[in-house]
Amino acid sequence: MSTTQVQTVASGADKAKLAAAVVATIAAVAAFYLLRAQGAWVQWLVLLLGLAFAAGVFLTTEAGKALIGFGRDAVREVKKVVWPSRKEAIQTTAYVFGFVLLMAIFLWLTDKTLEWVLYDLLLGWKK
């Protein structure tokens, strides 16, 4: 039995903010297409401003704050990673390539051996 809780949008204000963000996104995209006669600069400016407004509204909701927290936690975890040195990365890559080469040779030999046993010895099909 799982003890994790599903987090839902609790307040009416959050729901209204999320709805406003969706409406702003739809309005920005619609304005982009409706302002075709005004030129590309106006279209893109309106689209970017509308999407920035929608993102700003979204980030003030609980879901937006949780997303920001997740991003901060992710950055903190990436900073903890111990990245290999250049020498270690090259050595590891060489080991992988060597292993792949050995496995390719092994699988090729296995295939040819089974081909020889099945076709030449058992079935008598000579090439």
**Tens-place pLDDT, residues 20-64:** 999 999 999 999 999 999 999 999 999 999 999 999 999 999 999
What are the sequence ranges of the domains in the chain?
A: 9-81, 84-127
pLDDT tens digits along 68-94? 999 999 999 999 999 999 999 999 999
At residue 4, φ and ψ (nearest 5 deg) are -75, 145
Query: CA separation (Å) from 6 to 10, 14, 58, 59, 69?
Result: 11, 16, 20, 20, 17
Q: Side chain identity at 90, as an amino acid letter?
A: I
DSSP of 47-102, one letter per residue?
A: HHHHHHHHHHHHHTSHHHHHHHHHHHHHHHHHHH--PPPHHHHHHHHHHHHHHHHH
Whole-prediction pTM: 0.57
